[in-house]
């Protein structure tokens, strides 16, 4: 069935998945409610630590510094925006198309006393006010909802929101070959992610370059996502009875199948996960970044934030 990619369609599709129940997600995600690939510094590491390390990895790749205006597009329950405001001192804004997530995030900001430097909005990123720009932007796990044909407008809109010299990090799932309809995609589209669509990294980078982004760094985290899904699955199994009580047997089974298949697809390499760091393509002799990546990893080695 051809997808009609209106804002209303996307809002419904996002609500179908993410407004299911905060209590449900709280039972199998990490303590910080992240719903994207974690970063395992230890191959056998635990999910909570790996998600904290993922947030630090993103903040450090973006070289966040105190007072900077930072936007997290598709912010989920607000985890990364809150983390960045709390540990990196930025003025963070998170936007999500899910009402449940936004309400959770807003309550969390209040509990943390971060109201002066962190805001979570229930809105479509396409409705961000014209002319509002940021020094740093991340988009963690939203490209899967954009629709391949909309990549040019997505990367173009993000570009309009970023100030010159700023940095953008896009983190998303990829597919080994061009996205084609199959029984798996039908299952996903019908029951899990009605507006889900993924593409290969080559095409994503190609569109980014066409939209005048300079790609600075690309990192594959495929096996990290395999482990993340596997750990979500373990939490799912451990909380089976409670989960069934919240969403019912059918939805429980759909998610269980989807989680276990996702883990296997990441292990097997049908699915990938890439973080892409980019800057607006501008004619300058310097891009204002350190000459190596070492600064990203030194704090990890020292064990500090």
Ligand X SMILES: C[S@@+](CC[C@H](N)C(=O)[O-])C[C@H]1O[C@@H](n2cnc3c(N)ncnc32)[C@H](O)[C@@H]1O
Query: What residue ranges bind ligand X (CB under 6 A)?
Result: 10, 14, 18, 34-36, 74-76, 79, 95-98, 101, 124-125, 140-142, 145
Give SS3 for 288: coil
Question: Could you tell me the smallest distance in angstroms from the CB atom of residue 73 to ligand X?
Answer: 6
For residue 82, how many C-alpha atoms fall within 13 Å in the half-sphere facing its CB?
A: 24
Residue 99 is inside which H or E element, if any? Answer: helix 99-112
Between 10 and 53, CB nearer to ligand X: 10
Rounded Cα–Cα distance for residues 140 and 209 (Å): 19
Between residues 23 and 245, which has the closer beta carbon with respect to ligand X?
Answer: 23
Please state, in angstroms and rounded to a whole number, the distance separating the CA atoms of residues 116 and 254.
40
In the complex, minimum distance from the CB of residue 284 to ligand X, in angstroms, rounded to a whole number: 30
Shortest CB 294 distance to ligand X, Å? 26
Report, in Å, the least distance between residue 290 CB and ligand X.
25
Please give the Cα distance from 91 to 104 (Å, whole number).
Answer: 19
Cβ–Cβ < 8 Å for 96, 75:
yes
Give the nearer residue to ligand X in terms of CB position, either 18 or 134: 18
- C-alpha separations of 240 from 188, 190, 247, 257, 287 in Å: 21, 23, 11, 13, 50
β partners of residue 92:
70, 118
Nearer to ligand X, 192 or 289 (CB): 192
| Least Å from the CB of residue 154 to ligand X | 9
Considering the complex, state which of residue 10 and residue 68 has its C-beta at the smaller distance from ligand X. Answer: 10
**Which of residues 11 and 260 has its CB atom nearest to ligand X in the complex?**
11
3-state secondary structure of 97: coil
Q: How far is the CB of 157 from ligand X (least distance, A)?
A: 10
Smallest gap, in angstroms, from Cβ of residue 132 to ligand X?
Answer: 15
Please compute, for residue 73, the number of CA atoms within 13 A of its CA located in the half-sphere on the CB side.
Answer: 28
Least distance from C-beta 142 to ligand X, angstroms? Answer: 4
**Is the dihedral angle over the CA atoms 230, 232, 235, 239 positive or is it negative?**
negative
Q: In 10 A of CB 294, how many CB atoms?
A: 9
Beta carbons of 61 and 38 less than 8 angstroms apart: no
List CB contacts of 14: < 8 A, sequence separation 6 or more: 97, 98, 145, 195
By C-beta, is 17 or 281 nearer to ligand X?
A: 17
Structure tokens at 298: 């030194």
Nearest CB to ligand X, comparing residues 10 and 211: 10
């Amino acid at each position: 069935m051809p997808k009609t990619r209106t804002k209303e369609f996307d809002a419904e599709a996002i609500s179908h998945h993410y407004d299911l129940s905060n209590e449900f997600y709280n039972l199998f995600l990490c303590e910080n409610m992240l719903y994207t690939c974690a970063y395992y510094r230890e191959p056998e590491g635990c999910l909570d630590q790996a998600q904290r390390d993922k947030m630090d990895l993103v903040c450090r790749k973006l070289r966040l510094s105190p007072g900077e205006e930072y936007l997290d597009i598709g912010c989920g329950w607000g985890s990364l925006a809150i983390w960045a405001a709390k540990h990196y001192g930025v003025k963070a804004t998170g936007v999500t198309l899910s009402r449940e997530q936004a309400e959770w995030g807003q309550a969390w900001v209040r509990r943390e006393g971060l109201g002066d430097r962190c805001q979570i909005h229930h809105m479509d990123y396409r409705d961000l006010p014209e002319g509002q720009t940021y020094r740093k932007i991340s988009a963690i796990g939203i490209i899967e909802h954009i629709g391949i044909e909309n990549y040019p407008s997505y990367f173009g809109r993000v570009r309009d929101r970023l100030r010159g010299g700023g940095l953008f990090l896009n983190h998303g799932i990829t597919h080994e070959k061009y996205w084609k309809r199959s029984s798996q995609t039908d299952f996903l589209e019908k029951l899990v992610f009605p507006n889900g669509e993924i593409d290969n990294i080559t095409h994503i980078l190609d569109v980014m370059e066409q939209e005048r982004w300079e790609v600075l760094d690309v990192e594959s985290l495929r096996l990290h996502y395999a482990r993340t899904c596997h750990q979500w699955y373990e939490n799912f199994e451990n909380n089976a009875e409670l989960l069934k009580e919240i969403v019912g047997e059918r939805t429980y089974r759909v998610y269980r199948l989807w989680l276990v298949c996702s883990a296997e697809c990441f292990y097997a390499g049908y699915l990938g996960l890439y973080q892409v760091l980019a800057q607006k393509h501008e004619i300058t002799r310097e891009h204002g970044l350190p000459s190596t990546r070492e600064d990203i990893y030194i704090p990890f080695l020292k064990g500090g934030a």
